[in-house]
Structure 1
């Protein structure tokens, strides 16, 4: 199992805890959010390979791939 999938599974487990334990719902949801953020980080660490053929502009394609992979960062939550 890859890191992203493992993080998503953890997030699911904490969501289920939130449903089962209404007294601590907010705490479990906060934990689920942390695991979802970790899953997003794991998805950003993907290797991109490009097969350059017929003078295809490799540098432009690499820059586009990097821009597509760059997702906005969510600010840290205090508390």
Structure 2
């Protein structure tokens, strides 16, 4: 996993708050306190492209049955050794 991906999970929810804090009379730009962090822009990009879109109330999710063939395929594989 890329270092920026792990940092995106570690940094505070202030980056996600950019999309909702103003609805509660809070400063949505609180994330700017991390502007000197090496992964600041990566976290903004992640939240913009992926995270905030996961809360779309109009998103038509797939049923669990849709994923069963994929899950079965993955678990039918021979386990790999990492040693």
Same fold (TM over 0.5): no
- Structure with the higher fraction of residues in helix conformation: 1
TM-score norm. by structure 1 comes to 0.29
